[in-house]
Amino acid sequence: MYVYDEHDRQMMAERVAQFRDQTTRALAGELAEDEFLPLRLQNGLYIQRLAPMLRICVPYGMLRSVQLRRLARITRDYDKGYAHFTTRQNVQLNWPDLEDVPDILAELAEVEMHANQTSGNCIRNTTTDQFAAVQSDELVDPRPYCEVIRQWSTFHPEFAFLPRKFKVAVNASEQTDRAAIRVHDIGLQIVRNEAGELGFRVHVGGGLGRTPMVAPVIREFLPELDLLTYLEAVLRVYNRYGRRDNKFKARIKILVKALTPEGFAEKVETEWAHIKDSPSRLTPEAIERIQGYFTEPDYAALDNATDLLAQQRFENRGFDQWLQHNVDTHKKPGYAIVSLTMKKTGTPPGDVTDRQLEQIADLADEYSFGEVRVTHQQNVVLADVRQDRLLELWQQLGPMGFGTANLNTLTDIICCPGGDFCALANAKSIPVADAIQRRFDNLDFLYDLGEIDLNISGCMNACGHHHVGNIGVLGVDKKGQEFYQVSLGGSSQHDASIGKILGPSFARDDMPDVIAKIIDVYVNKRTDEESFLDTYRRVGIDPFKERVYA
C-alpha cells in the first residue's frame, strides 16, 4: 500500500492548516455561505438534513488497520460511534460539528488520511476493483495507476472549479468489472495492444444521475506513459467547454453526447498533441517507484487446503454456505479472498460501529497482513486469508455481524443513506432495504436465485447506483409523498447497461411484494443456467410488467 513521503506529508499538513484558516474565516462571517461551500465540499464536508456530514477519502478503497482504528476513535470522540461505508469506497461520518472538522482532518493526517476532493466540482477519489492484485485474471495491479492519478489530481490548480464533479475508475481484469468503469466520467480499462505493450482503453462520458449513460470508448489504446497528459487534455476540454449554465447538464457525458464521441475525441487529440511530450509525461521510473509500494505481501508457500476445507464444509453447513458465497479464489495457492458483508438485516447497508471498525482492524492484522479494501457494494474485503484459517475466521464473524453469507445475492443491497440522513434525498432508502431483507430471509432461496444486484437510491443523484442494478429502486417525491420507481436490467459490468423503468411507482409498504413478484417471474421463466439478468434480457420487460401491475 502507498506510504507518504515527506512531500505528501507536507502537502497534507498544509491542507489541514488551510482548511483550519478557511473554517475560522467562515465562522467569523468573513466568507459567505456560497463562498465557503466549495471550500468545505473539497474537504469532504456537507451540511446535511440533521448535521454536517464528513466524507473521508479512502484512496481506491485501501485501508490499513491503524487507519481503521483511528476512524473508530474519531467516530467515538467526534461523532455518535458509527461510520458508513459509501458506494464510492469512502467512509462517511454523519454527525461531526463544523468547528471540529479541522481537528478531525488533523487526526486523519496523522495516519495518512484526508477528506480532499471527496465532494465538490473537482476530480474525486479514483476507484478500482476490490480484488486488485489478488485475482488471477488481471493484466497488472491497477492500484499504482490509481495512485499516480491521485497525485496528479490532488489540488490540481486548473481543475478545482470544474462544471461538475468528476470521477475516474480503473479496471485491470479482463473478465469482470468490479469498478463499474463504464458509468464513470472516465473509465480506464488496462489492456495490452497487439505489440504486447501496456496501456489503457479510455471510456469517457459515462455516469448515473438524472441522465444515465454508458461511456463510449474515445481511445482504443493509450500507451501507459501517456496517462496523465491525456487525462489533462480530457479535463481541459471539459473545463473549457462543459456546460455551466445548467447543473443537470454539466457532467462530461452531456458534452460528449453533444459533440458526439468522435467529435469529443478529436478535440481531446488536438489538445493532447500540444502537451503529450511535456515533462508531465510519465516515466518508467516514476511508475516503478509507485509500484514499489504495492509489492506482494509476504505470502507463505502453501498448497491449496482442498481436503481440509472439504472436510470442514461437510461438517458445517453454515461454513459451507459462507465459503461458497463470500469467499473468492485467490491467485496464490493456499490463500483466499474473503468479503465481510456489512449487510446484516436490521443495520443500514454499509453502517459500522466504532467497535466493529476495531474488530475489522484486528481481523486484518490477524488474517490479512493488516490491510482491508472497501468495496463500492459497501462491503469490506480481507484479500489475503490463508485457507487453513478460514474456518477459524468465519467462527468469529457471526457475533461481529459480518458473517451474513449473502454476498452478491438479492439482499446484498447497495443503498445510499437516503432521506434518513441526506438533504438531497426525495425519499428514504434504508427502510426499503430493510423491508426487502426481512422479506427474503431464507438463505437457500437466495442462493437458488443466484447473483442479483439490487440497488436503491433515495433520489436522482443515484448514489445507490440504481440505474445499473439488475433491479433498481429510485425514491421519488410525489406531492410530498414518498414513492419508489423500479427499473430492471441494469448492469455495471463489462456488458454495462442502464435499467429500464418498469412503470408507475409504488408506495413504500408495497415494495417487498413488488420485488417478490419480479423474482417470481424470473423463477418461472428462467432456464437452468440463467441468471436474473440473462432471463430479463431474453424475455424482456413485459412479463414482469404484466405480473407486477396485474
Partner 1 sequence: MPDIIFRDGSIRQNQWIVVPRPDSGESLNIPDHERALIPADLWLAGREHFVGREDIGVWFDSHDEPEILADHVNELPLIAVNFPKFSDGRGYSIGRLLRERFGFKNELRAIGDVLLDQLQFMKRCGFDTYELRPDKDIRKAARSLNFFSQGYQAATDTDLPLFRRRAS
CB nearer partner 1, residue 159 or residue 484: 159
From the list 31-39, 60-68, 294-302, 357-365, the region that binds partner 1 by CB under 8 A is 31-39
Which residues 195-234 are close enough to bind partner 1 by CB under 8 A? 228
Per-residue x/- mask for partner 1, residues 145 to 184, rule CB under 8 A?
Answer: ---x--xx-xxxxxxxxxx---------------------
Query: Is residue 39 within the footprint of partner 1 (CB under 8 A)?
Result: yes
Nearer to partner 1, 285 or 528 (CB): 285
**Distance (Å, rounded) from C-alpha 116 to C-alpha 19?**
10
- Please tell me whether residue 291 binds partner 1 under the rule CB under 8 A: no
Amino acid present at 526: R
- Alpha-carbon distance of 405 to 505, in angstroms, equals 31
Single out the residue of 192, 244, 331, 508 in contact with partner 1 (rule: CB under 8 A): 244
Which stretch in 11-19, 187-195, 199-207, 474-482 sits in contact with partner 1 by CB under 8 A? Answer: 11-19
- What is the rounded distance in angstroms from the CA atom of residue 222 to the CA atom of residue 54? 36
# of chain residues touching partner 1 (CB under 8 A): 42
CB atoms within 10 A of CB 191: 16
Burial class (CB in 10 A: 0-12, 13-18, 19+), 444: exposed
Min CB(144)–partner 1 separation in Å: 12
For the bound state, the minimum distance from the C-beta of residue 278 to partner 1, rounded and expressed in Å, comes to 7
**Would you say 186 or 533 has its CB closer to partner 1?**
186
Q: Do residues 275 and 361 make contact, with C-beta atoms less than 8 angstroms apart? A: no
Q: Is residue 531 involved in binding partner 1 (CB under 8 A)?
A: no
Output the CA–CA distances (angstroms, integers) from residue 427 to 139, 248, 457, 482, 510, in the order listed.
Answer: 42, 20, 9, 5, 15
CB of 31 to partner 1, least distance (A): 8
Binding of partner 1 by 259 (CB under 8 A):
no
Q: With contacts defined by CB under 8 A, name the span among 88-96, 237-245, 421-429, 472-480 that binds partner 1.
A: 237-245
Q: In whole angstroms, what is the distance from residue 63 CA to residue 81 CA?
A: 19
Spatial separation of the C-alpha atoms in residues 353 and 342, rounded to whole Å:
11
Q: Least distance from C-beta 239 to partner 1, angstroms?
A: 5
User: Under the criterion CB under 8 A, does residue 17 sit at the interface with partner 1?
Assistant: yes
DSSP letter, residue 215: P
Query: What b-and-e string marks burial along 336-348, b requiring 16 or more CB atoms within 10 Å of the CB?
Result: bbbbbbbbbbebb
| Dihedral of the alpha carbons of 132, 137, 141, 145, in degrees to the nearest 10 | -90
For residues 120 and 472, which CB has a smaller minimum distance to partner 1 in the complex? Answer: 120
Q: Which is nearer to partner 1, 38 or 543 (CB)?
A: 38
Q: Does 509 sit near partner 1 (CB under 8 A)?
A: no
CB of 284 to partner 1, least distance (A): 11
* Chain centroid, CA 236 distance in Å: 25
Closest to partner 1 by CB, 162 vs 383, is 162
How many angstroms separate the Cα of 88 from the Cα of each of 118, 374, 514?
A: 10, 9, 28
Residue ranges in 401-442 assigned as alpha helix (H) = 430-439
Of 133, 128, 130, residue with least CA distance to 168:
128
Binding residue for partner 1, selected from 95, 191, 211, 280, defined by CB under 8 A: 280
Nearest-approach distance from CB 123 to partner 1, in angstroms: 11
Contact residue for partner 1 among 289, 317, 438, 538 (CB under 8 A): 289
Does 429 bind partner 1 (CB under 8 A)? Our answer is no
- Residue with Cβ nearer partner 1 (246 or 442): 246
- Alpha carbon distance 376, 371 (integer Å): 17
Q: CA end-to-end span of the chain, whole Å? A: 54
Residue 334 Rama label (left phi>0; alpha psi -120 to 50; beta): left
Quick one: which segment of 16-24, 123-131, 420-428, 448-456 binds partner 1 (CB under 8 A)? 16-24
Range 66-125, binding partner 1 (CB under 8 A): 121
CB of 290 to partner 1, least distance (A): 8
Strands 500-501 and 481-488 turn out to be antiparallel
Element (H, E) at 127: strand 127-128
186 belongs to the binding site for partner 1 (CB under 8 A): no
Q: Is 548 exposed, middle or buried (0-12, 13-18, 19+ CB in 10 A)?
A: buried
| Chain length of the chain | 550
> Mask 334-373, x = binds partner 1 (CB under 8 A)?
----------------------------------------
Q: Percent helix, strand and coil across the chain, each rounded to 5?
A: 45, 20, 40
- For the bound state, the minimum distance from the C-beta of residue 163 to partner 1, rounded and expressed in Å, comes to 8
Using CB under 8 A, pick the residue from 97, 137, 197, 240 that binds partner 1.
240
**3-state class of 362 per DSSP?**
helix
d(Cα 80, Cα 113) in Å, to the nearest integer? Answer: 20
Q: Which of 500, 320, 287 is nearest to 405 (CA)?
A: 320
Residue 285 touches partner 1, criterion: CB under 8 A: yes
Tell me the closest approach of the beta carbon of residue 162 to partner 1, in angstroms.
Answer: 6
Cβ proximity to partner 1, 11 vs 191, nearer residue:
11
Strands (E) located in 303-426: 327-329, 335-340, 351-353, 371-374, 380-386, 414-415
Contact flag: residue 274 with partner 1 (CB under 8 A):
yes
The reply to whether 286 sits near partner 1 by the rule CB under 8 A is yes
Using CB under 8 A as the criterion, which residues of the chain lie in contact with partner 1 when the complex forms?
5, 7, 10-11, 14-15, 17-18, 21-22, 30, 35, 38-39, 121, 148, 151-152, 154-163, 228, 236, 239-240, 244, 274, 278-280, 282-283, 285-286, 289
